[in-house]
Structure 1
Amino acid sequence: MIILASGSPRRRDLLLQIGASFRVVVSDAAEESGDALPPEELTVRNASAKAMAVAAQQPDFPVLGADTVVSLDGHIYGKPGGREDAVRMLSELSGRTHQVTTGIALAVGGRVFTDAAVTEVRFAPLSEVEILAYVESGEPLDKAGAYAIQGKAAVFVESLHGSFSNVVGLPLHAVARLAGKAGVNLYDHYGKGPTG
């Protein structure tokens, strides 16, 4: 069994999808933000901080931390600060290809194993009406880059190159590969879902 150091329902659902054995303990680690670091470095640092904060309280279990950002032309887009910010973000992503980066960290027995996944996502050109209607739905307000690919924003995506689950918030192949490297079994009770 592992501990997921995230309150994200999307990450929880993705681990459920693959039948991982886990429980959730939300990390209180502070997250870095901004454009000072490249997306891969920023997300790995945040994921590591989350995993280590929970591992300090739960030393007997492997702890998985994750952090996802959207970036375009070197600028990092986190969660929007409100409706106007969401409109601005979506307007800037419209008709362009951006990157979604998720850093992952697995804290095991005092060691931290890390990786990052990058997916290229191309948005169709979006009209002001489409953007405003989407923002009014409320869906983008707590999502990096102001959209949820697994939700209503799926219609905005012309193409995608890389891991789909990464764009949702957790690159499952990378997580499985990292668990193998760390000697962690994600499937103690294979197919039975979370244990608490």
Structure 2
Amino acid sequence: MEKIVLASGSPRRKELLARTGVVFSVVVSNGEENTNLTDPAETVEKLSQDKAISVADRLENESEPCLIIGADTVVAFEGKILGKPSDEEDALDTLLKLQGKSHQVYTGVTLLVKEQGIWKPYTFSERTDVEFYPVSREELLEYIKTGEPMDKAGSYGIQGKFGIYVKGICGDYNNVVGLPVGRLVYELKKMKINIRGMRK
């Protein structure tokens, strides 16, 4: 494999992938980030496929062996997907639901490998359970004022200022940040792909 491309402009995903030691380039997907699916695992798998395929279409003339990684993350509570907040009031409503309780974070990953001119897809999803301590309305309002929740699914970032309210997690922490790199490397090894041999 000669080239790896991350189909995401997320700085958090870029940082996580960089920690594996691989050299990669970034091509931001033009895909739509919506779906009619309601199951969280199916939703993130479909969205990750859409991102990867969107980038593959733009790299159609790529002649050398190439790997595209598409990823998407959602937060779910009581089986319902929680998107990014539309405004501060929406962020507060979401965080009030989550405080003192457990919720789930799902990341879907699609790997597109081009071999002999044909893109071959492989998709999986990872789930992590996250539990918050009870958090007061005043604390939540103070957090929302930082602006941090406004571009994040579930209205919080575990790696940011809200991390102090996390009671515990069951699963991969990196999955909550946005990319389950351990599972990613494991799945690639099963596909007989050594990403450490790739170059930009």
The match for 2:29 is 27
Q: Structure 1: where are the runs of 5+ without partners?
A: none
For the aligned residue pairs, the C-alpha RMSD in angstroms reads 1.5
Q: Does 1:56 align with 2:57?
A: yes
Q: Does 1:77 align with 2:79?
A: no
Given that residues 66 and 105 in structure 1 are in contact (C-alpha distance below 8 angstroms), is that contact kept between their aligned partners in structure 2?
yes
**C-alpha deviation, 1:180, in angstroms:** 2.0
Change in Cα spacing, 1:15 to 1:27, as seen in structure 2 (3 Å) is: same
Q: 2: CA distance between counterparts of 1:91 and 1:84?
A: 11
The match for 1:159 is 168
Greater gyration radius: 2
TM-score with structure 2 setting the length: 0.90
What amino acid is aligned across from residue 31 of structure 1 in structure 2? E
Given that residues 113 and 182 in structure 1 are in contact (C-alpha distance below 8 angstroms), is that contact kept between their aligned partners in structure 2?
no
Match of 2:22, SS state, is coil
Q: 2: CA distance between counterparts of 1:24 and 1:169?
A: 15
The match for 1:90 is 95
What amino acid is aligned across from residue 16 of structure 2 in structure 1? L
Q: Does 1:15 align with 2:17?
A: yes
Q: Structure 2: where are the runs of 5+ without partners?
A: none
Given that residues 38 and 81 in structure 2 are in contact (C-alpha distance below 8 angstroms), is that contact kept between their aligned partners in structure 1?
no
**C-alpha deviation, 1:174, in angstroms:** 1.5
The match for 1:141 is 150
Q: 1: CA distance between counterparts of 2:84 and 2:188?
A: 28
Once the two structures are aligned, what percentage of the paired residues are identical? 42
**C-alpha deviation, 1:182, in angstroms:** 3.3
TM-score with structure 1 setting the length: 0.92
